[in-house]
Structure 1
Amino acid sequence: MKHLKSIFLLVAVAAVAGGLWMWWQHERIHPSTDDAYLKANVLTIAPQVGGEIKTVAVSENQYVNAGDLLFQIVTDDLEARVMAAQASYDAAVQQSSAAITDLSAVSAQVDSARAVLTDAQDAYDRTGKLFKLGDVAQAAMDQATATRDQAKAALDNAQSALAAAQERAGDPGKDNAAVRAADAELTLAKINLARAQVTAPVAGWVANLDLRPGRLVAPNAPLFSLVEDGHWWIDANFKETDLTRLRPDQPVKIDIDMYPGLTLDGKVQSLGAGSGAVFSLLPPQNASGNWVKVTQRFPVRISLDGRPDDPAMQLRVGASTSVTVDTSGLDDGK
């Protein structure tokens, strides 16, 4: 009887040991964690111009497509700025045209002064020849010299006036600096007017909406969020002892707590470069005499290969999940 009890005890111990060994092998080959959460891109919606909210076209948790109107800002002042910028642009064009007209007039004066100098120089040359022959008096020579010098001075003044007019006029047409500056102001005013209509940058769900008509908003001030309905992934925190077998592209089974019985497929995308404690706001201080070693956890990003077939099973950012990685490929030499 004692031998029989001993045999039963040995069998029981062997069964427990075998079960523990099989469990350890399974856990080693299929590391898992329930410290994992569903993630997606969450965009912050903020207006690029300030003003009073005219209309709000969406509601909390509403699904919107990319380009759908989210809200509209009152545009009275923005439209006035466009009109003012348009007037400034028209004035700059007119001033540029007037400067070009003035430039033409001054250029004509230069041509006239140059012609007068040519005539005075010819008269001076003729008088000089006659003076050498003794056919004209010194007074005639002095008069020709004075006339030529006055013509030279008049041409110099006309050329200086032309240079000043050219500097004031600048480049002609749309290349004029003043016209380009006015055009830039007009373009910016039109952009700000268009920004009064805030549309969805991507498709997704509106979240944290607390916006009403009549509210005053400031430029770039966050108003609510938009959960993008596009790329979804899992951020899973594995124990550091599990990382030795984790590799990118390994298959993953994903269970979402809010949908019991639903299992999705995924792949290991990347392994974190540091533990969660390293990037926390208050990292642990271990410089104490009663320090206890704690197994650290490292974030592992897992991509989803598909979505639930049932449209009622909407993916929700932040949902708790459990993930199991199949690392058997390492033992198969893959």
Structure 2
Amino acid sequence: MADTTTTPASTEQETEVVQPRSRRRGIIVIVLAVIVVAALAFWWHSTFYEDTDDAQVSGHLIQVSARIQGQVLHVDVSENQMVKKGDPIAELDPRDYQVAVENAKAALASAQASALAANVAVPLTTVNTGANLTSANAQLSGSHAQVQQAQGQLQAAQARIAQAEANNAKAQSDLERYKPLVEKDVISKQQYDAAIAAAKAAEAGVADARASAAASGDAVRVARQQEAASEASLKYAQTGPQQVAAQNAKYKQAQAQVQQAQAQLDQAELNLSYTKIVAPEDGIITRKSVEVNQNVSSGQNLLTLVSLSDIWITANFKETQLEHMQAGQAVDVSVDATGKTYHAKVTQIGGATGSVLSLFPPENATGNYVKVVQRVPVRIDFTDLKDEDPNHALRPGLSVEPKVRVKQ
């Protein structure tokens, strides 16, 4: 009969064989579990988040330039200096522009005086034209009366001529009849002398009547001339409304000149204010090229101001990452320079890929086309920048890594 008892040595060997196998299985299980967890984490991350390391902080680079020409009196900033909005940067020599302001003020005062005189002349012209019209009507009526009176006197003078000629004809006839009678001593010499005197008086009466008629004719002509002058005066007086309108036009022209002088004064004062160059925004001074006693021209760049009050993220995502991305989605932004994470949101997705917006866009019409995954710029704005970055540690150009939650 065989001996079936197991010795202690053989039992220990079997235990040593079983323990290494169970350890290996445990390690394998742990490794598989880690791999599964890592795969699940990667799947969860790739499903709910999209991120990229092709992103940077963007901001406004403001070119500060001179708006007028002049000589620099002093410079108040230095390179990489932090400035606030309204802080002085530099000042130009203001003396030429102060003189221009004084000249503009004098021109404005002169224009205002001219406008005041023109305004006063409007009612005076209205009153004068009304009085001239009344006077011209009265003069014309008087001239008409004088013409009628002179014509009446002329007619009377012409009647006296006819009467004088008739008396002269009778006197001459009587004289001719008395001649043979005085020769025959039918009548006395005295009667004949009286007839001669009467004939001469009748001739003188004709001459006097004719002279009176000529004077009356001259009076008629003078009266008619005065009548014509009165009619001309009346016509001129009737242009009173036009004269008033012309004076009103002069007043409006004077007002326009006042406005023009005011505009010139405003421009001169603006130019004087431009001699003081101030910071348009909060930021940091860079690329300073302005120096004391330098002559600068209008539009010349003096320095660059990096604005820190309005910065954002420009992230270039692959086109394969944009399927579920849209404006308003939350973003966590990790910044290498600060080691912090900031909160932001997607604001807008670019209208074209970076390659299309480049200086030399690709030409695929040649047939040598190779499909390349394109990148699209996405703008991301910070939501709590004042609280998260009170010291303005973020600067344009810093590298960041945004992570966008594309699913809830």
Class of the TM-score when normalised by the shorter of the 2 chains: 0.7 to 0.9
Secondary structure class of the residue paired with 2:401: strand
What is the CA distance between 1:22 and its match in structure 2? 4.1
Is the alpha carbon distance of 1:187 and 1:136 closer, same or farther for their aligned partners in structure 2, counting shifts above 3 Å? farther
After TM superposition, the structure 1 stretch with the greater mean CA deviation from structure 2, 277-286 or 109-118, is 109-118
Structure 2 gap segments, 5+ residues each: 1-21, 156-215
Whole-angstrom CA distance in 1 between matches of 2:262 and 2:390: 50
| CA displacement, residues 257-313 of structure 1 (integer Å, 9 cap, x when unaligned) | 1122x1111111111121111111111222344432110011111111223657566
1:266 aligned onto 2:285: no
CA distance in 2, matches of 1:217, 1:183: 28
TM-score normalised per structure 2: 0.68
Distance 2:259 2:60 in 1: 40
The CA distance in 2 between the partners of 1:314 and 1:228, in whole Å, is: 12
Q: In 1, Cα distance between the equivalents of 2:334 and 2:76?
A: 36
Match of 1:73 in 2: 92
Q: Which residue of 2 aligns with 1:121?
A: 140
Deviation for aligned residue 1:161: 9.9
The alpha-carbon deviation at position 111 of structure 1 amounts to: 5.2
2:301 alignment partner, SS class: coil
Cα deviation, residue 92, structure 1: 2.8
Q: What are the superposed Cα offsets for residues 8-57 of structure 1, whole Å, 9 maximum, x if unpaired?
A: 99997897577446424422321100111112233221221111111111
State TM-score, norm by structure 1. 0.81
Cα distance between partner residues in 1 of 2:139 and 2:71: 73
How many angstroms does 1:202 deviate by?
Answer: 2.1
SS at match of 1:228: strand
8 Å CA contact 2:71–2:294 kept in 1: the answer is yes
Which residue identity lines up with residue 293 of structure 2 in the other structure? G
Task: Answer whether contact 2:115 2:254 (CA < 8 A) is retained.
Answer: no
Distance 1:226 1:143 in 2: 90
**CA deviation after TM superposition for structure 1 residue 102, in Å:** 7.0
Structure 1 residue 282 corresponds to structure 2 residue 360: yes
CA drift of 1:198 comes to 1.5
Cα distance in 2, alignment partners of residues 191 and 95 from structure 1? 26
Q: Please, what is the CA RMSD of the aligned residues?
A: 3.8
Q: Does the aligned pair in 1 maintain the 2:140–2:234 contact within 8 Å?
A: no
d(CA) in 2 for partners of 1:267, 1:311: 19
CA shift in 2, pair 1:176/1:156, >3 Å: farther
Question: SS at 1:214's partner residue?
Answer: coil
1:32 aligns with 2:51: yes
> Relative to structure 1, is the Cα distance of residues 312 and 162 closer, same or farther in structure 2, using a 3 angstrom cutoff?
closer
Identity %: 27
Distance 2:119 2:226 in 1: 32
Q: Give, as a single letter, the amino acid of the residue that structure 2 aligns with 1:232.
A: I
Contact 2:346 2:381 in 1 (8 A): yes
Higher helix share: 2
Work out which of the residue numbers 208, 225, 235 in structure 1 matches 2:287.
208
Could you say which residue in structure 2 is the equivalent of 1:61?
80
Q: Is the deviation greater in 139-148 or in 189-198?
A: 139-148
1:304 to 370, 382, 396: 382
Aligned 8 A contact 1:36 1:234 in 2: yes
* Aligned residues of 1:93 and 1:173 also touching (Cα < 8 A): no
Larger Rg: 2
| 1:91 equivalent among 110, 124, 128 | 110
> Which of the numbers 301, 316, 319 marks the counterpart of 1:237?
316
Q: Which moved more, 1:219-228 or 1:294-303?
A: 219-228
Q: Gaps (5+ residues) in structure 1?
A: 330-334
Distance 1:186 1:312 in 2: 43
**d(CA) in 1 for partners of 2:395 and 2:250?**
59
CA–CA separation in structure 2 for the residues paired with 1:118 and 1:155: 6
2:65 touches 2:299 (CA, 8 Å); kept in 1? yes
Instruction: Indicate the larger mover: 72-81 or 282-291.
Output: 282-291
- What is the deviation of 1:77? 1.3
- Separation in 2, partners of 1:207, 1:48: 19
